[in-house]
Chains A and B, each alone.
Chain A
Amino acid sequence: MSDYLPNEVIIDILKRLPADSLIRCRCVCKSWYSLISTPHFITTHLNFNLSKPKTQHQLLFCHYDHNLDKHRITLHSSNDPFPRNHFSKYLNYSDPAIHMRLLCLDLEVEDKGGFFAYPSDFVELDCSYEPINQISTIVGSSNGLLCLTHRYRNDSQYQYLYVLWNPSIHKAISLPVPDLRLNSIRHYALSHGFGYDPATDDYKLVRVVYVDGSVLPQVEMYTLRSGGWRYLTAYGPANVIADLTLSVFMNGVVHWLAQTPNGEGNIRNVIVVFDIGHEVFDEISVPKSLEGMEHLNMEVAVVDGLLALVPCNGNEWELEGEESYSIWVMREYGVVESWTKLFDIDVGVGLRRVVGFTKNGEVLVIKGGKLLSYEPSSQEIFNPHIRSRTESFYLNTYVESLVLLNVADGE
């Protein structure tokens, strides 16, 4: 039958299959094995998934589970990742003691182990295999490919492990070690960015390092196609991106919130950007009212496809300056006047971080080591009973893909 079917038709059928089915389909015959591994098919399959209606979009959520002593990575609906009826739907409403059960529900849920102790509304990704099982931090994700990193100390040096991982096909590759060696005695600030460059159909990881407080950083970049690192001769930003600053990738550009010393002892808050295609740095201004703030306590984010600034009040023991509670979005990308304050988050004192946004308009925040869901118009707070270290939470959009399938194992 398939003798008659032209390749474009076979592709039209196969592109609709989930990744695990496609991995099995490679065992059907040699021509299907080749077909599914071609860059053309991988791109076609990815684009088909990217074009699916929003109701089918997913969110990837990562947190450190203290009970199980490991990182857990789960997939959720992007519309309502932590549904309010997640726990109550297990209750028997004809039970005469139902009122007592409802009153004690919170305690019962905590006892059982919280949100992830109740099996529905999420899919857990297997991250038990090498080399990803040792990794602690997600740098970013693009087209279903995650970039992970882990820092460890080796004698007098800090070593960074980097891994690219596609959970859909259970494949991870370890990146080679970057050139720049970081002597643990000296002080340095290091941040990362990761994204996809459509012009070269390549995935790039950028590393910005300031050694001993120097104003100009060392910038290194890894690309999947080259398989190696190189220093960028592009003029690095004469700003300071603080150590471990979170980045967001949108419009082909990596964004970090940074400070520029203006020579008179004052600082100016600014968003440093790195164009991953042209490999050049630039700046985007923050709202005027936030520009001169000594301790801004915010970080960049993406809200509804718009560049945003969200509260990031750090940990209890390192909080400096005034706490931030506002969400700002840049309605027109690059236009400073278009910065608009969307709303304030009112969950009481102690808002530590904003983790992400759901498609139905709720904000996921961290307060007291707990993830809370905040609804801006009603100001309602829902507790899905998820606890972890503040910095271990990660939330981003996710799409299934076959990226990495045709890349050789190892380096």
Chain B
Amino acid sequence: MKFCTVKQYFDDENNNNVTNGIATTVIPLPNKHLKIKANNKEMEQYEQELLRNVMPQELTKLILAANYLNFKEALDFFCRTVANAIQNKSVDYVRKFFGLESDFEPGEEEKLCKEFAWSFEGVDED
């Protein structure tokens, strides 16, 4: 089933631009996964490398590709990587990571931060 969707993906014109990135990273993933499956430490290192070498924008494309290909293991892996990356980070960091902007009314955000002040303790420095 994976092979059919991959072919369809490459045929789809809109995705031509991202084909290269996907080809080098997503497609080899199952092999890599199988090789590393036994060794959690290696997987963690691979995760770290991925984070360093791949910018958030690339990561989105990888996630979208994995989602489109219905490639569960890759999607799981990427989502876990992103979750670990943003886990103890500040609200600003998370915004920048996802390319989001605050659309709260002035003062609304402050109110929220104050109400949940306890959750802001121990957050990593940006």
Query: Which one of B6-14, B21-29, B100-108 is at the A interface?
Result: B100-108
Determine the chain A residues whose CB is within 8 A of the CB of B102 once the complex forms. 27-29
The residue from A4, A12, A24, A28 contacting B119, defined by CB atoms under 8 A apart: A24
The residue from B57, B82, B90 contacting A13, defined by CB atoms under 8 A apart: B82
* Contact (Cβ within 8 A) A30 B86: no
Determine the chain A residues whose CB is within 8 A of the CB of B120 once the complex forms. 24
* Contact (Cβ within 8 A) B98 A1: yes
Determine the chain A residues whose CB is within 8 A of the CB of B95 once the complex forms. 28-29
Expressed in whole angstroms, the minimum distance between the Cβ of A27 and any Cβ of chain B is 5
Is A199 an interface position by the 8 A CB rule? no
Expressed in whole angstroms, the minimum distance between the Cβ of A398 and any Cβ of chain B is 18
Q: For chain A, which range describes its interface: under 10, 10 to 19, 20 to 34, or 35 or more residues? A: 20 to 34
Known: A9-B79, A13-B83, A21-B86. A26 touches B112 (CB 8 A): yes
* Contact (Cβ within 8 A) A16 B109: no
Is B69 an interface position by the 8 A CB rule? no
* Interface residues on chain B, number (Cβ under 8 Å): 35
Minimal Cβ-Cβ distance residue in A for B92: A28
* Contact (Cβ within 8 A) A29 B83: no
Determine the chain A residues whose CB is within 8 A of the CB of B119 once the complex forms. 20-21, 23-24, 170
The residue from B56, B90, B116 contacting A23, defined by CB atoms under 8 A apart: B116
Is B64 an interface position by the 8 A CB rule? yes
Known: A20-B119, A29-B102. A1 touches B56 (CB 8 A): yes
The residue from A5, A12, A24, A126 contacting B91, defined by CB atoms under 8 A apart: A24
Known: A25-B94, A27-B109. A16 touches B116 (CB 8 A): no
* Contact (Cβ within 8 A) B118 A3: no
A30 to B108, CA, bound (A): 10
Minimal Cβ-Cβ distance residue in A for B111: A27
A6 to B79, CA, bound (A): 13
Determine the chain A residues whose CB is within 8 A of the CB of B82 once the complex forms. 13
The residue from A1, A24, A26, A32 contacting B60, defined by CB atoms under 8 A apart: A1
Expressed in whole angstroms, the minimum distance between the Cβ of B107 and any Cβ of chain A is 13
* Contact (Cβ within 8 A) A17 B101: no
Is A307 an interface position by the 8 A CB rule? no
Known: A13-B83, A27-B109, A29-B102. A4 touches B60 (CB 8 A): yes
Minimal Cβ-Cβ distance residue in A for B75: A12
* Contact (Cβ within 8 A) A126 B112: no
A14 to B64, CA, bound (A): 16
Determine the chain A residues whose CB is within 8 A of the CB of B116 once the complex forms. 23-24, 26-27, 170
Is A2 an interface position by the 8 A CB rule? yes
Write the A10-48 contact mask toward B (1 if CB under 8 angstroms, else 0): 001110111011011111111011000000000000000
Minimal Cβ-Cβ distance residue in B for A10: B98
A18 to B84, CA, bound (A): 10
* Contact (Cβ within 8 A) B91 A27: yes
* Contact (Cβ within 8 A) A2 B100: yes
* Contact (Cβ within 8 A) A9 B87: no
Determine the chain A residues whose CB is within 8 A of the CB of B33 once the complex forms. none
* Contact (Cβ within 8 A) A5 B123: no
* Contact (Cβ within 8 A) B112 A27: yes
Determine the chain A residues whose CB is within 8 A of the CB of B19 once the complex forms. none
Determine the chain A residues whose CB is within 8 A of the CB of B50 once the complex forms. none
Expressed in whole angstroms, the minimum distance between the Cβ of B85 and any Cβ of chain A is 10
* Contact (Cβ within 8 A) A13 B79: yes
A126 to B63, CA, bound (A): 37
A-B contact pairs, 6 of them (CB 8 A): A5-B98, A20-B118, A21-B87, A24-B90, A28-B94, A29-B101
Give 10 nearest A-B pairs by CB, closest first: A1-B99, A16-B83, A2-B98, A23-B119, A20-B119, A12-B79, A13-B79, A1-B60, A27-B91, A13-B82
